[in-house]
Amino acid sequence: GNSVTQMEGPVTLSEEAFLTINCTYTATGYPSLFWYVQYPGEGLQLLLKATKADDKGSNKGFEATYRKETTSFHLEKGSVQVSDSAVYFCALSDTTAGNKLTFGGGTRVLVKP
Amino acid sequence: GAGVSQTPSNKVTEKGKYVELRCDPISGHTALYWYRQSLGQGPEFLIYFQGTGAADDSGLPNDRFFAVRPEGSVSTLKIQRTERGDSAVYLCASSFRSPGTGELFFGEGSRLTVL
């Protein structure tokens, strides 16, 4: 079956530091890949996505590249802000299963000023 | 409203009681999903509706869990004979159609605590 593994947190950084959150997946077929973010007190929201191999998703300074050869979709940001403190979830959507998402366990990121 | 609305936001109940959780999706979204998120974990799929019918209920843990969407809009997740292990945040999400781009719009969740 489908599964997503992401690095455990919490990850604590200083403002303007570089952030990487690793994500690897196992899937049948050709999944689409996503990063969702959950800010304190808010619902999950889509951060970025990539629908095929070598696609790069980007939003709000975050980037992730769909690497089929390594089955990975690592999230990166070059200079984090305090407002980036949140829980980040990597997820995949199997095209044979509609929009049903399989999530990783989440990585809590805390950015200190 | 503009987003997915879930009620109640918090529910505390006693073991063995019956609970209903309601989800009002974004207007025009035909697909609706229920997920369960335990503390410190990622959301786990429960059930997905396309219109009024349950297209995939493979994530429901047992027959104490049931969900309906009678008119293709509002959905209710029903849990019978609640157990302490049912304590979690129950998330609802909607999207325009399925299969699609995979973007789901989530509500803030209903936190269920079973004492």
Round to whole Å and give the CA distance between B34 and B92.
5
Chain A residues inside the 8 Å CB shell of B45: 100-102
For residue B12, what are the CA distances in angstroms to A25, B26, B46, B73, B84? Answer: 36, 26, 21, 26, 11
Lowest mean pLDDT among B18-32, B56-70, B86-100: B86-100
Residue A82 touches partner B, C-beta closer than 8 Å: no
For residue B73, what are the CA distances in angstroms to A110, B8, B30, B96? Answer: 37, 17, 7, 12
Three-class SS of B6-72: EECCEEEECCCCCEEEEEECCCCCCEEEEEEECCCCCCEEEEEEECCEEEECCCCCCCCEEEECCCC
Dump pLDDT digits (tens) for B21-37.
Answer: 999 999 988 899 999 99
Q: What is the DSSP letter of B86?
A: G
Dump pLDDT digits (tens) for A13-53.
Answer: 999 999 999 999 999 878 899 999 999 888 899 999 998 89
Chain A residues inside the 8 Å CB shell of B50: 98
Is A64 a residue whose pLDDT tops 70? Answer: yes
Q: How many CB pairs under 8 A join A and B?
A: 73
B113 — pLDDT class (breaks 50, 70, 90):
very high
- Minimum-distance CB partner of B98 among A49, A98, A103: A98
Assess contact for A6 and A104: CB atoms under 8 A.
Answer: yes
Average pLDDT taken over every residue of chain A:
92
CA angle in degrees (0–180, nearest 5) for A5-A21-B95: 70
Chain A residues inside the 8 Å CB shell of B91: 43-44
pLDDT of residue B76: 98
